[in-house]
Structure 1
Amino acid sequence: MSLLGDLVFLPVSSPTALLAAAVLLLVLYLVSGNFASQELGKEPPGPRPLPLLGNLLQLDLKRPYRTLCELSKRYGSVFTVYFGTKKVVVLAGYQTVKEALINYAEEFGDRDIPPIFYELTHGHGILFANGESWKVMRRFALTTLRDFGMGKRVAEDKILEECGHLIKMFGEHEGKPFDTSCLLNYTTSNIISSIVYGSRFEYNDPRFKNLVRRTNENIRITGSAPIQLYNMFPRLVGWIKNRQLILKNAEMTIRDVKDLIKHLRGTLNPHICRGLVDCFLILKQKEDDSCVMNTNFNEKNLIYTVTNLFAAGTDTTAATLRWGLLLMAKYPHIQDQVQEELSRVVGSRQVRVDDRKNLPYTDAVIHETQRLANIVPMALPHKTSCDVTFQGYFIKKGTTVFPLLTSVLYDESEWESPHTFNPSHFLDKEGKFVRRNAFMPFSAGRRVCLGESLAKMELFLLFTSLLQRFRFTPPPGVTEDKLDLTPAVGFTLNPSAHELCAVSRQ
């Protein structure tokens, strides 16, 4: 008799029998699903999943990218892992990730939206959206950022203005130990705010400080183990404290953003765009006047596009700068070489973007910081837009895909010493800067970071300006070897909590 037939005769009054029946049905479902897929083609290999739990017991939920890198050594560059009942295909190594995101850009170009992020955005905005709405919002944001000088002199001036405020605040610590995180976050937040809203905030503005704090807190918590569990079993663990805190933070941030937009709407001049919000409101007004139906220029897309840009423009660049300053304090001989080059090439005048080509060692240090920092180790999750056969494996439409950026930035076949801080990765024998194909911190393809050119400009100008004026050292009594390079747990990888001294060089 078949297994399903046997289930008919189980005494339904027995809790044990009911549990056994449920488990058996689940196993049959998974097995039958595997058989169905195998009829279409060979699926990527992977560790055997348990019913309900999948490969949960094999994963380090605080740092899943580490587990996935280890699994890739056993199962190859394309493999399957189950986060609970959710099937995920992992892409590992430079060649595989590049092929998928660039050569198969359309097939791997959709965004998978985990439950916590769907609750936050409901498919609106840019980061966690798909379809026509995503295309329109991304195109609008990219065009507007370019119009406001992303990668041009206008943006350079905004960055340098903010850099002046940052240097002043660093100097006020008078060489005593302090945590660099808040000030760096305020600086990067203000740069994106000046583009989005058309003006900056004072560092002591309570609303601004809360916007930054809540944004950073949410980014950190969404990478925690409890939220990983919530994304796997949203109906079972929706009560967890971390989820409630994320939703509360998001609610308060949306309230503040609505208030800021309301003020801009009240002072809007259709002939002058102060920032991205103004451009959005003017386009929305034109479509309203033309009676355009079902427009993507609606209130929700505006709010979530603004919050997406604010979060993305704040956290990753500030985290990279924190890593850069920490690495300078840990490796003073490298800091010596950066400061020697800056003194020789630039002197005491303000560094400009055009100086980059004459500062190859400094440029190499910044690139190596981005590589080693590995800020977004698993990228944002992708999803297949259709059935696809990739490297001989069949991947079904709608499958979640993790392009493992860690495996690209630490690929042993691409980098001479992938696990050490080595600026020579970006220098030739003559000391000239060289680009490396496997340098992919901003991801690639359709979902590449749209603020990449702005972030690069910020990193160069802020890092060089700070190194011109300050010597970064560990706190008194702490030796360089005691500075910890273990990243903190979070959706993005920030350094663990630490203090540095910024000693004036002038």
Structure 2
Amino acid sequence: MAVVEELLQFPCMSTVLSAVLFLLFFYLILSSSSTLTQGKEPPGPKPLPILGNLLLLDLKRPYMSLCELSKKYGSVFTVFFGPKKVVVLAGYKTVKQALVNCGEEFGDRDVTPVFHDLNQGYGILFSNGENWKAMRRFALSNLRDFGMGKKRSEAKIIEETLYLREVFKKFEGKPFDTTQPVNYAVSNIISAIVYGNRFDYNDPQFKAMVNRANENIRIVGSPSLQVYNLFPSLGPWLKNWKLLMNNVESNVKEMKELVKGLQATLNPQDCRGFVDVFLTRKQSAEELGEKDSLFHDSNLIYTIANLFAAGTDTTGTTLRWGFLLMAKYPHIQDRVQEEIDRVIGGRQPVVEDRKNLPYTDAVIHEIQRLANIVPMSLPHTTSCDVNFEGFFIKKGTCVFPLLTSVLRDESEWETPYTFNPAHFLDEQGRFRKRDAFMPFSAGRRVCLGESLARMELFLFFTSFLQHFRFTPPPGVSEDELDLTPAVGFTLNPSPHQLCALSRS
């Protein structure tokens, strides 16, 4: 105090000290105001150095570990995947608030090392900024032109059901694995839209491409690849990473060959599919000298890869869950087939029939809900600082919208862990929509192929339940059919065989 009093004897020092004290006071006010504005960060378990919270997570089924943590820490919480900080959103209301009501703030994609390896920042699924906007806008517009979710694609799907039915018939009611034929059929729908033609199921090039793409989805969800995302320098020493890179290289090479063939026969006045339209737009940009055009070979190849990955595995996987669940619950299969026989009879099902098949429609929705194909969605990242649900989340924070917590939200579903088509039926047996039905995600990053996937699921499912009865292999009871999903980025059924008995 004596020193301060002594300094105050000098007028200039008194002025300087007053200014310093004023600035200090002003800084404290601002800091306090900033803290109040930002709020506190989401709670979560205390992380260990380097490992973060990995010891609390089952890397084979991280979505289950995160659901358990949400019971302790709430619907918005922080967890550390190694050194990486992630904010997890759990429950229908919280996920909807983020993805729909705060779509801009939560709308960017978090591009992990493995997803960068797969896409190089191009395409639709794992790009951001102008590249994402331009590619998504172009894809949506042109996929619609080629009939995605309309009559034009309905005809392609119906045609493909006929080819797949012939494959099922060849097994003559004997047990078989549905995986490959179903994936080939669904992949052919995308092929017809993207390339303008389908492939024979025995085409070795086609089979290899589909099999590699599906293997990649399984590998991406493996524990070793999750560790790679946290410590990318480990890549060259990981068997799964090397296999993934080899598969990607092979598929890119095959796609370039297919594009090259289409380029050689391109007629801008008669485009056969999505690739033709893209090549025409690319050619136009080159002629106009657009140096910064986003319509280049890399965006074309990785957009094709995205369309196949998003449009094949998820729909094919959902169909296989459907067939398995029908074999598991024959009384539900009975009701579906009774309704199809009564309403449609022996003719080919069409999309227009959906409104007259409420129970069948409810079963398809319940298959999607219980199958829970993409339990953690694709990772998002915040595009700016966000004050959300009383918490402050910094710009650039990775966010997991936990879709499994939406599809099995105990406050939204009467029996969330049970296969129960009544979730989608009212008291009069009419189909009813449910807000918490969110298998395609929501908001800016909602699946762009949702309308096509819904059409495929309805037409394939009704057509196959019309012609086949699905049962366990001889000597296996319904109770023995295992509903535990296999490990992977998407949740496929565990390896199994079924019998498809002809009903005709």
Compute the TM-score of the two structures, normalised by the length of structure 1.
Answer: 0.92
CA RMSD in angstroms comes to: 1.0
Q: Alpha-carbon deviations, 1:270-295, whole Å to 9, x = none? A: 10110000000001111111111210
For 1:173 and 1:38, the matched residues in 2 are separated by: 67
User: Could you tell me how far 1:415 is from its partner in structure 2?
Assistant: 0.1
In structure 2, what is the Cα distance between the partners aligned to 1:204 and 1:158? 19
Residue of 193, 196, 204 corresponding to 1:195: 193
Structure 1 partner of 2:419: 421
**Equivalent residue number for residue 404 of structure 2:** 406
Which SS does the other structure have where 1:235 is aligned? helix
Residue 20 of structure 1 aligns with which residue?
A: none
| Matches of 2:133 and 2:235, distance apart in 1 | 33
Tell me which amino acid in the other structure corresponds to 2:206.
F
What's the CA shift for 1:37? Answer: 8.5
| Deviation string, structure 1 residues 401-438 (Cα, Å, up to 9, x no partner) | 00000000000000000000000000001100000000
Identity %: 69
Q: Give the deviation of 1:41 after TM superposition.
A: 2.6
For 1:273, what is the secondary structure of its paired residue?
coil
Provide the rounded CA distance (Å) in 2 between the counterparts of 1:37 and 1:261: 54
Alignment of 1:47-446 (within 5 A): 47-446=45-444
Q: Which amino acid aligns with 2:376?
A: M
- 1:426-461 deviation per Cα after TM superposition (whole angstroms, max 9, x unaligned): 000110000000000000000000000000000000
Distance 2:383 2:218 in 1: 29
Deviations 1:87-108 (A, max 9, x none): 0000000000000000100000
The 2-side partners of 1:391 and 1:237 are apart by 38
Distance 1:503 1:400 in 2: 47
Describe the SS at the equivalent of 1:389. strand
Once the two structures are TM-superposed, the CA of residue 151 in structure 1 deviates from its matched residue by 1.4
Shift of 1:311: 1.1
Which is higher, the Rg of structure 1 or of structure 2? 2
Q: What is the aligned counterpart of 1:451 among 449, 453, 462?
A: 449
Stretch deviating more after TM superposition (237-246 or 280-289): 237-246
Taking the aligned partners of 2:81 and 2:35, their CA distance within structure 1 comes to: 19
Q: What residue in structure 1 maps to residue 26 of structure 2?
A: none
Q: State how far apart, in whole Å, the 1-side matches of 2:396 and 2:422 are.
A: 41
- Whether contact under 8 Å (1:381, 1:403) holds in the other structure is yes
4+ runs of 1 displaced by more than 3 Å? 36-40
SS in 1 for 2:322: helix
Q: How does 1:455-466 map to 2 (within 5 A)?
A: 455-466=453-464
Aligned-partner SS, 1:87: strand
> What is the CA-CA distance between 1:300 and the residue it aligns to?
0.1
Output the CA distance in 1 between the equivalents of 2:383 and 2:245.
29
Q: Unaligned 5+ residue runs, structure 1?
A: 1-35
CA distance in structure 2 between the partners assigned to 1:295 and 1:352 by the alignment: 41
Show CA shifts across 1:52-106 (max 9, x none): 1000100000000000000000000000000000000000000000000001000
Q: 1:317 to 1:214 in 2, by over 3 A?
A: same
Secondary structure at the counterpart of residue 85 of structure 2: strand
Q: Is there any run of 5+ residues in structure 2 with no aligned partner, and where? A: 1-33
Q: Is the 8 A contact 2:38 2:391 kept in 1?
A: no
> Quick one: which amino acid aligns to residue 199 of structure 1?
N
Q: Distance in 2 between matches of 1:410 and 1:45?
A: 23
Residue deviations 1:278-333 (CA, integer Å, cap 9, x gap) = 00000111111111121000000000000110111110000000000000000000
* Aligned pairs, number: 471
Amino acid at match of 2:247: N
Give yes or no for contact 2:85–2:397 (8 Å, CA) kept in 1: yes
Shift of 1:236: 3.7
8 Å Cα contact 1:56-1:84 kept in structure 2: yes
Cα contact 1:230–1:238 (8 A) shared by 2: no
Matches of 1:37 and 1:328, distance apart in 2: 55
1 CA distance for matches of 2:351 and 2:497?
A: 29
How many Å separate the matches in 2 of 1:235 and 1:262? 35
> 2:22 maps to which residue?
none
Please state whether the residue corresponding to 1:106 is helix, strand or coil: coil
For the residues of structure 2 that align with 1:39 and 1:281, how far apart are their CA atoms?
Answer: 49
Once the 2 structures are TM-superposed, how far is the Cα of residue 238 of structure 1 from its aligned partner?
4.0
Partners of 1:245 and 1:53 in 2: CA distance? 26
CA contact (8 A) 2:235 2:241 kept: no
Question: Residue 235 of structure 2 contacts residue 242 of structure 2 at CA under 8 Å; is this kept in 1?
Answer: no
Amino acid at match of 1:112: D
Q: Secondary structure in 1 aligned to 2:392?
A: strand
TM-score by length of 2: 0.93
Give yes or no for contact 1:37–1:43 (8 Å, CA) kept in 2. no
Q: Distance between the aligned counterparts of 2:373 and 2:173, measured in 1?
A: 28
Amino acid paired to 1:374: N
Shift of 1:239: 1.5
Return closer, same or farther for 1:197/1:48 CA change in 2, 3 Å cut-off.
same
Q: Is the 8 A contact 1:229 1:237 kept in 2?
A: no
Matches of 2:431 and 2:307, distance apart in 1: 31
State whether residues 183 and 312 of structure 2, in contact with CA within 8 Å, keep that contact through their aligned partners in structure 1: yes
Does structure 1 conserve the Cα–Cα contact (< 8 Å) formed by 2:483 and 2:493? yes
| Superposition deviation, residue 237 in structure 1 | 4.9
